[in-house]
Structures are given as C-alpha cells and as structure tokens.
Amino acid sequence: MNLLKTLAAISSMTMLSRITGLIRDVLFGAYFGATAMMDAYVQAFKIPNFFRRLFAEGAFSQAFVPILAEYRNNSSDAEVKELVDHVATVLVWALLVTCVIGVVGAPVLVLMFSSGFLGTPKFDLTVNLTRIMFPYIGFMSLVALSSGILNTWRRFKIPAFTPVLLNLCFIVAAYFSLTWFGKEKQIYALACAVFVGGLLQLAIQIPSLIQIGMLPRISWNPAFALRDPKVRRVLKQMGPAVLAVSATQISIMINSTWASFMPDGSASQLNFADRLMEFPSAMLGVALGTVLLPSLSAAKANADKTEYSSLLDWGLRLTCLLALPAAIGLLTLSDALTATLFHNGKFDAHAVNETAKAVAAYGVGLTGLILVKILAPGFYAQQDIRTPVKIAMIVLLITQLMNVLFVPFIQQAGLALSVGLGACVNAAMLYRGLRKRELYIPSAGWLKFFMKLGAALLLMGLVGYGLSMQVDWLAMQSNRWIRAALMGGLIVACMLVYFSALFVMGFRLRDFRKVSR
C-alpha cells in the first residue's frame, strides 16, 4: 500500500470535513455569537464527546484494532468474524445501559463539567441539551467499531468522510434554527442535529461492512459473548487504555470547569479557537494516525522491526514538514483568521480579540498535539498501553499546574496554552520511550532536514506576518468577501513561499513516498 497516496485520500476526506466544519462554525458565530446560550451548548456537547473520546475512539480503538489486525493476519475468516460479532454484542449492550444512565444523570454530569453554571439559567439549559445529545455517544461508539474494522481492511475513505454528515446536519440546523424553534429555544436545533448526525454517521458505514463481509451480528445474549477469550483480551487491553486516554479527557473536563467560571462567552471563544486548531490537527494528525496504526500492527505481527521503525520515521518527517508551518500560521495569522471567519452577525470585535488570543496559544503547542497522534500508535501497535498511561498521568499534572500559572492572567488563552504545552511534553516523553525501547531508530539526515525546514519556516513566517499587518481585518467587517479574498491570498502566498523555499533546497515529493509491506 502506498501510504502517501492513502494519506492524501484520507486527508482529502478530512479536508472536506473541516471545510464543512468551518462553514458550520461561521454560521454558529453569526447566528449565536459568543453568548451564554452558546456557552451552554458548548459545555453540553463536551459531555458526550468526553465519553466518546475516552471509551470509543480512545480506549476501545486502541485495544481493538491491534488485536483485530493480529487475528486477520494469523487466523481464519471465521475466527475474525466471531471476534467482531462478540465484541459488537458486548459494546451494544454496554452502550444501551450507558445512554440510559447518561440521560437520567445529566444534572450530575453537568455539575462535573460546568460547576460554574450552578445557580444560573445556563445550568438548566445545559442539562436539557445534554439529555438530547447524550445518545450521540452510542452512535459514535458503534462508528468507532465500524471504522476500526474498515481501517484494518484498509478502507479508509468512508470513515474519514463520516464527520461531514454531522457538519451538514449542523449547517441545516443553524440555518433553520430560528424558524423551527423560535428565538428563545433556537439552540435546541443544534442538539437535535447532534442526534441525527450521529445516526447518519453510523448508517453510512453499513454498506462498506457488508461489502467486506464484516457487518456485526448482534446477539441477545451478551453473557455468552463475554465468555469469548478474544473479547476478554480486548477488555483486558481496554483497562490500561482507558487510563491512558483518561488523562487527556480529565484535563479537558477540568478545563471545561475552569471555563464555566469565566465571563459569558469565554467557553464559546475557546471552542471557536479549538475548531481552528483542529483543522490541521485532524488533517494531519488524525489522518496519519489512522494510516499508521494498522500498518504498525501488521509490522509487529510480522516481527519486522526495520519496517516498524521506518513507518514511524516516515510519519515524523511528514508531521514536521506539514505541522510546523500550520503552527506558524496560527501564531502569525490568528487575528486575520479569526476576524475573517467569525466576525459576522453576533460575533463582535471583543469576541474576535479573545478568540484570536486562544488561537495563537494553540499555535504554540500545535506540533506537540499532532506528534502525540503519531507517536502513541508506536506503543499501541505493540499492545503496550501502560507506558502511555504513565506519561499521560504526568502530563495531566503538568497541564493543570500550567493552568494555575496562565489562566489568572490570560483567561481562556491560558487553557489553550496549557493544553498545547502539555502535549509537547507528552510527545517528548513518548519519543524518548520509543527510542529507549529501540522501537524507533531515526534514519540518517534529520539534522540537515531540520536546518532546511527552519529556513523555510522563518521565511514563511516573516512574509505572513508582514502581509497580515498591512490589513485592518476588523475594519473590513462590511466588506467580508473582500476580506475573505485577502485572507485566501495571504494563505496561498505563505504556502508558495514555504514550498518554493523547500523545493529550492532540494525537497521533492518522491522523498516522502512510503510503501507499506
């Protein structure tokens, strides 16, 4: 498999997802602004997302995919199908119980995530929105199961495309929210969009599962499925995986609590900044992690240490090549990006300034956030989850100590800065662990690579910052299409400068091609 070609295909699907996501966020900013109502929605949506990332896309995927890849390489089709059926059965019944508990216990969950809302109208609104959106975790956990299967069979496009459906539901809901619910309750349209979007994301995966003969058959007897040694093995791996992922998710929960004590609009501003950070993070980090984990798992199953190290080296070089300019872009163009995308309707100049600070703060740690997604699979493919657990717990403590230091001075930007810097520490410790175990041995030429990369980044940063300072982005609110054209031209100019400099210094696309054995 040509990994660069596969990565490009996944990234193109992810780009479509992020473009529709940006359209969604532009509409959110225009129709709802950075307001108390939007704060309630943001905090409520974090609750099912917390559990989705903790159990579904986090612990479950990290435990299930390497074991599934191992069985696919070494066992019969019947054994693989049995594993899928039994795991799906246990998952479905566990999700039914979880969703019921989540809907009933919504006030407790909101208190955990947004204790600063207690005693305000935002608390009751957040509880109601949480109850509507909580079943989303059920849909997305099954999507994680389906995506894990399809990715193991190297069918990457459909799983990468599915988030587009949620964004389209959001766009329709935002556009018609006032018509459907009225001014006082229009935020409920977004909660309904989450429910429908989750259902659609699950439905679109079914035809591909049927095509490869891996559509799970759900049994009415979960106790029988639980007795399967293969299922027990997945669950045993999930234990430490939950701890590994929980550090990051607990940090998010604590940050959510911090934000709930800040002035109205703070949680919304941080959320809009988070969306801009997630654009490059998903296009590169998530896409690369998706490609690498099945390939690393196959290399581990074949006991091919050279291929294992080579895959990690390829992923790290691509990350540095593409993540570093994205980080420089967030740092130098934060005001321009925020004003161009969100300075419309109810999203005022104050919200732009506060959001831009958080965007720049995310730029500081963006490379670390992406590197973690590349380095962590190096342990998961080895079915070593304990090491990332230890590292994640240390990083959790460091991140919260930085919150104490930064938040009193720069508010929500301090939360973003702590998350980014904590990710850099996490990446450094993961890298050290891979080197210490000799799972990764860097190939020759890294010093020369960094020297050339640094020169191109410096040139791009100077050009981007210099051109950005020539425009008063806030003053152009009434000429938003001209502002958008200028922003697009600025991004294109930065890209041309960066890649032209790399080309002059000898970088060629063929140098980054990688074929998985």
Write the pLDDT tens digit of every residue in 449-459.
899 999 999 99
**Are 145 and 215 contacting, i.e. CB atoms less than 8 angstroms apart?**
no
Cross-strand pairs, 2 = 515
Structure confidence at residue 154 as a pLDDT band (50, 70, 90): confident
Q: Exposed, middle or buried, 362 (CB in 10 Å: 0-12/13-18/19+)?
A: buried
Alpha helices, H only, 265-333 = 266-280, 287-301, 305-332
Measure the CA angle with vertex 352, ends 347 and 353; round to 5°: 145
User: Pick from 433, 426, 348, 344: which is nearest to 393 by CA?
Assistant: 426
Across residues 25-41, what is the average pLDDT? Answer: 83
CA 224 distance to own-chain centroid? 35
One DSSP character per residue, 84-140 reads: HHHHHHHHHHHHHHHHHHHHHTHHHHHHHH-GGGTTSHHHHHHHHHHHHHTTHHHHH
What does the mean pLDDT of the chain come to?
84
Q: How far apart are CA 114 and CA 116, in angstroms?
A: 5
| Segment (H or E) for 229 | helix 229-260
Alpha helices, H only, 333-385 = 334-342, 349-380
Instruction: Please give the residue that has the higher pLDDT: either 192 or 51.
Output: 192
**Are 312 and 371 contacting, i.e. CB atoms less than 8 angstroms apart?**
no
Structure confidence at residue 351 as a pLDDT band (50, 70, 90): confident
pLDDT of residue 456: 93
**Are 326 and 34 contacting, i.e. CB atoms less than 8 angstroms apart?**
no
Structure confidence at residue 180 as a pLDDT band (50, 70, 90): confident
CA 273 distance to own-chain centroid? 13
Across residues 202-211, what is the average pLDDT? Answer: 91
Q: How far apart are CA 205 and CA 161, in angstroms?
A: 10
Q: Is the pLDDT of residue 378 over 70?
A: yes
pLDDT of residue 250: 72
Structure confidence at residue 222 as a pLDDT band (50, 70, 90): confident
Give the predicted TM-score (pTM) of the model: 0.74
Q: Is the pLDDT of residue 273 over 60?
A: yes
Q: Residue 444 corresponds to which amino acid?
A: A
Q: Is the pLDDT of residue 515 over 60?
A: no
Structure confidence at residue 249 as a pLDDT band (50, 70, 90): low
pLDDT of residue 4: 61
Instruction: Please give the residue that has the higher pLDDT: either 279 or 316.
Output: 316
Q: Residue 164 corresponds to which amino acid?
A: V
Q: How far apart are CA 66 and CA 350, in angstroms?
A: 47
